[in-house]
Amino acid sequence: MTSADGDGRANGGVVSRLRRIIAEGGLRGLASLAARWGTKWSLWPPHLVTACCGVEVGHLFGPAYDAERYGALPMPAARHSNLLLIEGTITMKMAKFVKWVYEQMPEPKFVIAMGACAIKGGVFYGSYHMVPASNVVPVDTYVAGCPPTPEALLKAIEDVQRRRVESL
Amino acid sequence: MVAAVFFPGLITMGLYLILAVWAERKLAAKVQWRYGPLYVSEKLGGVLQTVADLLKLAFSELVVPSYTNRALFAALPAVVFFVEALPLLFIPGGPGLVMIPSGYGLLYVVAIILISTPAVVAMAWAEADKFTFIGLLRELLLEAAYEVPLVLSLLAMALVYGTDLSTYAQGLPGIAVNPVAFFVYLVATAMATSRFPFEIPDADAEIVLGPYTEYGSSLFLLAYGSNYVKLYAMALLGALVFLGGWAPLAGIAGIAVYILKASALTAFWLLLRAVYPRMRIDQALRLGWRELLFLSAAAVGVSALWRLW
Amino acid sequence: MRRPEWPFYLKPGETFFVEREEEIAPGERGIVLVIGPQHPGAGHLRLFAVVNGDVVADVRPDPGFVHRGIEKLAEKRPFWVLGPLLEKASIMDSPNIMLPLMHALEEALGLEPPPRAKYLRLIMAELTRIRTHLYDLAIHAIFLGHSTPFMWGFGLGDLIAEVEAKIAGARTTAAYPIPGGVRRDLTTDGRQALESLLRKLEAKLPDFYTMFFKNPVVKMRLEGVGVLDAKRAVELGAVGPSLRGSGVDYDVRAARPYDAYAEVKPEVQVEKAGDAMARQLVRWREVEESIRLIREALRSLPEGEIVDESLLASAPNYRREGIAGIYGAFVKLRPTRGEYLGLVEAARGAAMVQLFASPSPTPFRLRFVTPSWRNLKPMVEAMKGYRIADIPAIYMSFGYFPPEADR
Amino acid sequence: MVGAIAFLVLLAAGLALLYAVPKLFAPRAKTKPKELRFEAGNPPYGRLRRRMVIQYIRYVLAAASFEALASLALVAYSTAQQDLVTPLALTAVVAGVMAAVGGDVWSHD
């Protein structure tokens, strides 16, 4: 199922793995394990729609793709969320608020930049009123596409789970 | 001691919090052609989702903004949680299984339910932002809408059974005696715990999350969890007063029956989310002071007739 | 990890177009609610709402969060790539929102789509009209806190998206119409998928109707809210369902038929009440009407080519290269100097493109008027005098979509 | 009574633990926006004026007076076991007053 379980089996079961973690890192190691597991299955994006990719984000949480299976749940405010989904183009005017919302989110936090526009500009390359996402916030995962399909977004969420959260 | 630790006390309360949030998401998902939380524990249908959310929130940064009264800001969610859990002191979980046995248990429970709203209001006041202020007002106004019908529906039951909660499991269940009071209790509790047509104080499309807007990390856990603690207390109270509590069994089996009845009530309140949008505050107020008020007055009348007959 | 410095947030005051609250709300009464851009009930529009208690006294919109300069960018791009640029205004409605550009370009280039292409355009336009209406209804539902129609709307929208992918090649941004025709033919496969989609929609839509329009709480929330009478709606320049919801019988498809609408005639849906419920009912009836239109168009779909004969003649490799061959032919074409107009009924209302063409591949100037932009002012006017809770209810009853408005 | 005290102490301990966990284990990065109030992604705009919603004040007044009556009915009944008159009379007062003035209360929205 998950790589954590795979490792657990390889090292002789969850119990011995837990024992090893406590022996190595003590309480702090255990806490970090719990935090990583919890964060992995509970990535909550705040409601920050930056452009038209928001349409596919709607489909991502709709019945066909249902990102809630992975524990992702759209949240209204920044204070209780930890995954910033940049939904497409960031305009100059929006960049201030993307930055602001990112700064408001509590640690640890992750960023998925979605769509060709957020990567480099996409079809709007050369426009006077936009910036790539990496100039505004540190991006963890990019998703290509215009707009990316919901499958690609699910993949990106899995990528954040595996690559970023588990290496915290 | 059993009552304090096991049922209706801490362990059952904790399990209820975890399972109710999960069930709410799963039930809504079922109606909405989805799975809901799944992959966190695929074989168990994602039942660990709430645990993951809890750990995530508890291990994320605790932000206490400096523009407000930091001590109050941080302390009030716990106070709200604590106050919402107090009715459990007087609700029996079975014959003799009660933390504070009292002949006036119902009165205490009603009093605590009515004083818990000011705690939420204080919490929203301490946050001091525009959306929480509106959420605070809505919480206050909604309390104004539900409290008189709620008290009257419980008065109707008290007229039949008295105020000692442990006597409610004997004889006919309250729903057979006074279905009107049961209906009023269902609606008033949906208002009190902000279940769906009355999820007005924390309406996310209008005022972000109302009283919970500013809270992150474990403060959000406490603030949001307090709602479900209240739901737990109200479900237990409703199952006891209207559905006969642990009757017809006793002992462990009685507890199981009681929990089943409370879960059925909870499932009803949770399913409202999938069926109704939220009302406007003026509509809820009018509902509370018109239809609900006269229904609850009628319920008192029904009980009086029952007594006289 | 690299933490790039972005200087904007150091000067927070500069994010407001009205610096001081007192300029909007004179005196001591009320508070100014800033709704958006990170607000679950506003999307990427910012509203400065002056609330007097629970009543909205004044609303000032602050659009432009999604302004990407489509019109300016169009001046630097050759005409054959303008379609994908303009469709980003409203991606779930892409065939509709591109059509005015195609009409203007066809006039400038002297092309005429063959009958089959006209019918295919109609089919795709109506299909995405259904999808956009379902999108608006779904978002409206979630703005009222009703998550079930939201999910159902997006679930049905997904079915449509998959059929779009089958017919046109992409879920949302297929850029289906091209100057002088359409990009892909409707195969037997696509036709079967379309027919089974329509059957599925007809089976599921009544559930949606029961859940949303027959729901007593939805009725309480929407009836009598955000009322615009016909005169006011016309004055403020409302278009599309927002206009027809106020009782004005105007639909570009009927008033100025384009493509195949002259043969497959739509019935204009009008509601008298002018409130949020009326606007959504118009949307709902248009969904049903669109299903009928698609059925009718499928029944009378003519055989033949899907791009203009003259294009085919100048692209001898078309049979082998497919649509890429046509693009090779575009390179040789030059528009006639002049001013051209395209006007169509997109899902949210009349969309217009005014093209100032010069004999170079890039347009001299392009003006793009989108329905959401036209609906912004009526929306804001409709909000005044209602409750805070009605702001999202009125907002989405106009189907306001910021990327479409800001272009 | 022991049970009650145990319940309260354990509950308080659990709640305290929830404060301790983020204090001890959570990462911390203080930024300026975190210190300011939430304003839908904006920097704080204008002042927070705490004005009561005057439109619905009548309901608050009704609740303040009638809640006392309803609760009084409950208390009166519980202290005098067989007395049906007081609770019924008080309920009748609540319902009667609302029936008399209700039309006026409900119509002003």
pLDDT tens digits, one per residue of B52-100: 999 988 888 888 888 888 888 888 889 889 898 889 888 888 887 888 8
| Reported ipTM | 0.88
**B144:D63 CB<8 A:** yes
pLDDT at D81: 64
3-state secondary structure (DSSP) of residue A16: helix
How confident is residue B304, by pLDDT bands cut at 50, 70 and 90? Answer: confident
Interface of A with C in 59-98 (CB under 8 A): 59, 61-65, 76-78, 89, 91, 93-97
A1 has pLDDT over 50: no
**D45:C28 CB<8 A:** no
Cα C128 to chain centroid, rounded: 9
A167: exposed, middle or buried (Cβ count in 10 Å: 0-12, 13-18, 19+): exposed
**C21:D46 CB<8 A:** yes
- Could you tell me if A14 lies within 8 Å of chain D, comparing CB atoms? no
Interface of B with A in 183-222 (CB under 8 A): 204, 208-209, 212-217, 220
Contacts of B33 in chain A (CB under 8 A): 63
Task: Give the residue on B whose Cα is nearest the Cα of C30.
Answer: B130
B118: preceding bond cis by omega (within 30 degrees): no
- Could you tell me if C19 lies within 8 Å of chain D, comparing CB atoms? no
Q: Which token pair is A125?
A: 């390359």
**Residue bearing tokens 């419980």:** B154
CB distance D45 to D39 below 8 Å: yes
Contacts of D11 in chain B (CB under 8 A): 10, 82, 85
pLDDT, mean over chain B:
87
Residues of chain C with pLDDT under 70: 1-19, 26-29
**Residue bearing tokens 């005696």:** B177
CB distance C370 to C343 below 8 Å: no
- Could you tell me if A106 lies within 8 Å of chain C, comparing CB atoms? no
Contacts of B34 in chain C (CB under 8 A): 151
**A107:D28 CB<8 A:** yes
- Could you tell me if B104 lies within 8 Å of chain D, comparing CB atoms? yes
pLDDT at C14: 58
Contacts of B32 in chain A (CB under 8 A): 63
pLDDT tens digits, one per residue of A69-119: 888 888 888 888 889 988 888 888 888 888 888 888 888 889 999 888 888
CB distance D24 to B58 below 8 Å: no
The fraction of chain A above a pLDDT of 90, given in percent, is: 10
Q: Which of C34, C47, C52, C56 to mutate to test the interface with D (most CBs of D within 10 A)?
A: C34
Which residue would you say has higher pLDDT here, C99 or D54? Answer: C99
CB distance C249 to C270 below 8 Å: yes
Contacts of C387 in chain B (CB under 8 A): 280-282
* CA-angle at C66, arms to C62 and C69, nearest 5°: 110
Chain D nearest C-alpha distance from B108 (Å)? 10
CB distance D99 to B179 below 8 Å: no
How many B/C residue pairs have CB atoms within 8 Å?
Answer: 81
- Could you tell me if C309 lies within 8 Å of chain D, comparing CB atoms? no
pLDDT tens digits, one per residue of B198-232: 888 888 888 888 888 888 888 898 888 888 999 99
pLDDT at D45: 79
Contacts of D42 in chain C (CB under 8 A): 12, 15-16, 34, 37-38, 46
pLDDT tens digits, one per residue of D59-103: 888 888 888 888 888 888 877 766 777 778 788 888 888 887 777
Query: A150 CB contacts (<8 Å, ≥6 apart)?
Result: A56, A59, A60, A62, A64, A65, A67
